[in-house]
Amino acid sequence: MKRGADQIALPLDWPQTEGESRFIVSDANREAFEHFRHWSMWPVKATVLTGPRRSGRTLLARTFAERVGGRLIDQADTRDEEEVFHAWNDAQDSGLPLVMVADEAPPAWAPRLPDLRTRLAITPIARVNQPDDKLFGALIQLLFADRGLHVPPDALRFMSERLSREYWTAERAVEEVDRFAIAERARVTMPTIRRALSQARMIGDAA
Q: Which of 174, 158, 142 is nearest to 24 (CA)?
A: 142
What is the per-residue pLDDT for 20?
57
- Spatial distance between the Cα atoms of 44 and 11, rounded to a whole number of angstroms: 22
Exposed, middle or buried by CB within 10 Å (0-12, 13-18, 19+), for 55?
A: buried
Q: For domain 133-199, give its CATH number from 3.60.40.10, 1.10.150.120, 1.10.8.60, 3.40.30.10.
A: 1.10.8.60
The strand pair at 125-127 and 71-73 is best described as: unpaired
Measured in whole angstroms, how far is the alpha carbon of residue 37 from the centre of its chain?
16
CATH 3.40.50.300 matches 2-127 = yes
Spatial strand order in the sheet of 46-50:
71-73, 98-102, 46-50, 125-127
What is the per-residue pLDDT for 205?
63
What is the per-residue pLDDT for 21?
63
What is the per-residue pLDDT for 14?
38
- CA-based torsion, 106, 107, 111, 115: positive or negative: positive
Strands (E), the chain: 46-50, 71-73, 98-102, 125-127
Q: Say what the pTM is.
A: 0.84
What is the per-residue pLDDT for 169?
96
What is the per-residue pLDDT for 207?
54
* Phi and psi, residue 82, nearest 5°: -65, -40
What is the per-residue pLDDT for 204?
78
What is the per-residue pLDDT for 28?
96
Give me the average pLDDT of each 10-residue run along the chain (207 residues): 38 43 88 94 97 93 94 97 98 97 95 97 97 94 92 93 94 95 94 96 75
Which one-letter DSSP state was computed for residue 127? E
How far lies 120's CA from each of 44, 51, 109, in Å? 10, 17, 9
> What residues does CATH 3.40.50.300 cover in the chain?
2-127
> What residues does CATH 1.10.8.60 cover in the chain?
133-199
Q: Which amino acid is at 18?
A: E
